Amino acid sequence: MADLQKIRSDVHNTFKLSGFTTRREATTFVAEQLLPLTIQERQKMLDKLTTRLLHQCLSQPVLEKEHVETAFKECSSQGLEETETVLNIIDAFSIPKLKYDTERKKFTKDLLNTNNLYPDPKWKAQFLIDRYMIIWQRTVRNKLFAQETLPSMAEEKRFQLRKVEVLLSSSSKIDEVIVLGLLTQLTEGKFYIEDPTGSVLLDMTQTRYHSGLFTENSFVLAEGYYEDKVLHVMGLVLPPSENRATSLPYFGSLNTFGGKSKTLLKNSQSLLKIEQENEDGMFIFLSDVWLDNLKVLAKLKTLFSGFNEFPPIAIILMGEFLSCPYGYEHSTQLKIALTNLADIINQFSKLKESCKFVFIPGRGDPSAPNILPRPPIPSSITTDIRDKLGNSVIFTTNPCRIQYCTQEMVLLRQDLVMKMCRNSIHFPDTGDIPDHLTKTLLSQCTLSPLTLGVQPVYWKHADALSLYPLPDLVIVADHFQPYTRTYQDCQVVNPGSFPRTEFSFKVYIPSSRTVEDSQIPKEEN
């Protein structure tokens, strides 16, 4: 009895130091649970309980018995917590909206945000302002622009970012100007750089372009001199990108990726252990999966047969799912094609039981306009395949996100190379296009740095296209030749068109973070 009293006193004091007032029955409950443990084990459990209670975000600092019961249950449970999901397919319309707090210099979640495809007109500008703030705060922290100089950087040249309003307020020439802003045509044939404070006309006759694809509606750093209300651009460069480790302190434990968990699962040790132990786990990515093409179906059957004994975590099938438009019969033909695919998958029992089949629509798939993010294929078309395969099939949005253990993947089906090259104001003289595209996407923090006329976007859901903080893997399924590029610890991958590349695809192995080129072998005559 004396031991129980002492433990009750220790519990009361520990919780008091953390700012809690404890009810008698709550203290007694904890003391009774700790009684069989050693002194060292008791202290460890108390620390864990305190952490759990702080995460409960109680409205008042008064601990009731049910609060400590919940915390104790979480601490004592073996394996994963309730919100720790091994595999989570996150659709584009449930991505959390984040905003940058300039005073606290941190990102917070916008709790007042509501889903709306057709919001107020202010959102047309707001989504660009939000992207500007992300790139601006990242740029001013870069060592080239940071005002706080470290001893090791004392001799390095640093640059000063200026706002457009500073230029507009000057009547004299200003040398060595660097402005971060949106590259835009406010009048046809004349380029301007614009930020939230104003816009200024650009003279780009002497401009030297650095690496990357510079499109209208992308954010750029323009370097030059300002004279007679014109910024004469000597150099145009993409804003510096930033790896995830550098970005993370500005988000804390906030779940920036989406899903049920309130905190970021990337920090979960339980999930990390599962990820590392599953050395054979893999994701298969295929694009342009034409289900009305007999040769494609035959190759898919070969692929399923090869993976049946050792099923992958998921097979991601991206559109378009029909090889040509069928007019008013398009939906009917797709429904039949999906049913045929279900019959093929049903022949491989292990694959059906252990693997997820994720379907991401392409531009030509029914029945949504060419606006990103694009909703999934309608349930009226997918009802038969879902009845046959149950929870094995998932129809999701374009783009979508996949969280596997601690890893984050962003997937988009879009012919982005063609669009970016066609709308670039300057085509690169050197280097290959995948390198330029990768650098551009990660510096722009978005999957679509294009004008709304070229690629319409739902203004209030532009966060679904965000690439900040950087994920582990970005899949951009494109007609362009397959490639894999790594930049700032992020891998950007194009699996290529499945039928146009002699049935090649990409395999991602999370435990080793490697991407492998694969191809279905040709049939022997």
Question: Is 236 in the same domain as 111?
Answer: yes
pLDDT tens-digit profile of 33-81? 777 777 777 787 888 787 777 766 666 778 788 887 777 766 655 455 5
Residue 381 within a domain: yes
> What is the predicted pLDDT for the residue at 292?
96
Domain count of the chain? 3
Question: Is 161 in the same domain as 294?
Answer: no
Question: Is 398 in the same domain as 514?
Answer: yes
> Are the CB atoms for 360 and 319 separated by under 8 Å?
yes
Residue 82 within a domain: no
Question: What is the Cα–Cα distance from 349 to 367, expressed in whole angstroms?
Answer: 31
Lowest-confidence range among 56-70, 130-144, 285-299? 56-70
High-pLDDT (> 90) share of the chain, %? 68
CATH of residue 40's domain is 1.10.8.60
> What is the predicted pLDDT for the residue at 55?
67
Three-state DSSP at 431 gives: coil
Closest CA to 481 of 503, 497, 460: 497
Residue 170 within a domain: yes
Question: Is 64 in the same domain as 123?
Answer: no
Residue 397 within a domain: yes
Higher-pLDDT residue of 395, 270: 395
> Are the CB atoms for 191 and 222 separated by under 8 Å?
no
For residue 368, the 8-state DSSP code is -
Residue 466 within a domain: no
> What is the predicted pLDDT for the residue at 57?
62
Lowest-confidence range among 136-150, 266-280, 378-392, 495-509? 136-150
pLDDT tens-digit profile of 202-214? 999 999 999 999 9
Tokens representing 325? 């438009």
> What is the predicted pLDDT for the residue at 36?
74
pLDDT tens-digit profile of 467-479? 999 999 999 999 9
- When the pLDDT of each residue in the chain is averaged and rounded to a whole number, the result is 90
Last-in-domain residue among 198, 219, 240: 240
Question: Is 146 in the same domain as 229?
Answer: yes
CATH of residue 235's domain is 2.40.50.140
pLDDT tens-digit profile of 488-502? 999 999 999 999 999
Higher-pLDDT residue of 113, 98: 98
Question: Is 72 in the same domain as 106?
Answer: no
Question: Is 294 in the same domain as 393?
Answer: yes
- Sort 518 into a burial class: Cβ within 10 Å, 0-12 / 13-18 / 19+: middle
pLDDT tens-digit profile of 176-204? 999 999 999 999 889 999 999 999 999 99
- Residue span of the structural domain in which 131 resides: 101-240
Question: Is 509 in the same domain as 360?
Answer: yes
- Sort 277 into a burial class: Cβ within 10 Å, 0-12 / 13-18 / 19+: exposed
> What is the predicted pLDDT for the residue at 28?
83
Packing angle between helix 65-76 and helix 39-55, nearest 10 degrees?
110
Bridge pairing between strands 483-487 and 490-494 = antiparallel
Last-in-domain residue among 41, 76, 111: 76
> What is the predicted pLDDT for the residue at 25?
83
Residue 221 within a domain: yes
Distance between first and last Cα of the chain: 85
High-pLDDT (> 70) share of the chain, %? 94
**Residue 460 reports pLDDT greater than 50:** yes
Residues with Cβ within 8 Å of 256's Cβ and at least 6 positions away in sequence, in order, are 96, 98, 107, 264, 469
Question: Is 120 in the same domain as 208?
Answer: yes
Question: Is 220 in the same domain as 314?
Answer: no
Question: Is 228 in the same domain as 118?
Answer: yes
The DSSP code sequence of 168-229 is: HT--S-EEEEEEEEEEEEEETTEEEEEETTEEEEEE-TT-EE-SS--BTT-EEEEEEEEETT
The DSSP code sequence of 446-500 is: BS--S-TTTS-B-GGGGGGGB--S--SEEEEE-SSPPEEEEETTEEEEE--BTTT
> What is the predicted pLDDT for the residue at 108?
87
Three-state DSSP at 425 gives: coil
Burial 211-247 (b: 16+ CB within 10 A, else e): ebbbbbbbbbbbbbebbeeebbbbebbbbbbbebebb
Bridge pairing between strands 174-187 and 190-195 = antiparallel
Question: What is the Cα–Cα distance from 129 to 120, expressed in whole angstroms?
Answer: 15
Residue 217 within a domain: yes
Question: Is 202 in the same domain as 121?
Answer: yes
Residue 91 within a domain: no
Bridge partners for 178 per DSSP: 223
> What is the predicted pLDDT for the residue at 525?
47
